[in-house]
Amino acid sequence: MATNEHKKLANTVKSFHESLRHLSQQEGAQKAWKEHLKQSGRLKEYANAMHQLAKIWEDNTTREGLLAKSRIKWTIEFCLAYFYTEHIYLEKRAREQRLLGSWFEFDCSQCHYMENVPEKIKVLDVGSCFNPFAKVPYFEVTSIDLCPATDDVLQGDFLNIQIKSMKNPKVGLENNVVNYLPAMYYECVIFSLLLEYMPTSEQRINCCCKAYELLKSEGILVIITPDSDHVGKNAALMKNWRYTLGCLGFMRIRFEKLPHITCLVFRKAIDSRVPERWSILHKESYMDLSIEIPQDSKTKKVAASFGEKGKT
């Protein structure tokens, strides 16, 4: 059961997200985001609340029988299975090759493969807050956040960070702020509780497009999103996410609904035509190029009600 402190921290986070979404509805996404970045005091309050919530959550999941609920542990275990113990990347490579054969007569002129399994997985943790993956022995982590809660997290606005192709890949820092990242460098990009922070679908898609540019072929995008509803409640939204990410060049390779969170993994395909073709074949009438979250509809209803009041 949640303590009063837990509830207070959760309300701080929720109200922060709601105010940013409302501001975007009123001012437009770009203007709202610029104003948002200037609110250093609120950003620090949010970072502290997220840090404290994470401690409470992970402490609770260390109890016997609850380990599977840890988003951090889930991510670590899947990465281990994907690259090392189960070689999931080879299984998914073979599937994509079969699809290429059936759809394009195995025209592999655009195929790109991961050359070797890395000794350490180069991980980019976006919206990291407190660098929860820092001590994983087979991770080489770059962690960034708008307002870091700990000193080992780099400050950076992912929406506005440039991506550069470099012979000698490095993180570009100016005044201790990240302003560019190396293209096609990372084997894993993590969006843990990040996309719901973004107030609009367009910004969420922008984040995913950047992840695609940053990943090596056969690299993975891990998305953890809060979801306390039963597995079928948001099924249409999740299918639309799969359709949209497919259009961007990603194949979904894992979906797991846990209590309070949904865990997804998308793989940068060896040939972007494969996920694009999959999306076309599986598109349903309601689907479009968007990444919506349940809170979006609530925000739109509130905005509409205010609009109606303004007319009276």
Feature table: binding site for S-adenosyl-L-methionine: 127, 145
Helix/strand/coil percent split, the chain, to 5: 45, 20, 30
Length of the chain: 312
In the chain, which ranges are continuous DSSP H helix?
A: 4-27, 29-37, 40-61, 71-80, 88-104, 201-214, 235-247, 273-282, 294-311
Q: Which residues contact 137 (CB under 8 A, 6 or more apart)?
A: none
Residue 183: helix, strand or coil by DSSP? Answer: coil
Annotated binding residues, written as ranges, equal: 127, 145
Instruction: List b or e across 104-132, with b for residues whose CB sees 16 or more CB atoms inside 10 angstroms.
Output: eeeeeeebeebeeeeeebbbbbbbbbbbb
CA distance between the termini of the chain: 44
Q: Which is nearest to 256 in space by CA: 283, 293, 231?
A: 231
Residue 266: helix, strand or coil by DSSP? Answer: strand
Rounded CA separation 82/87 (Å):
5
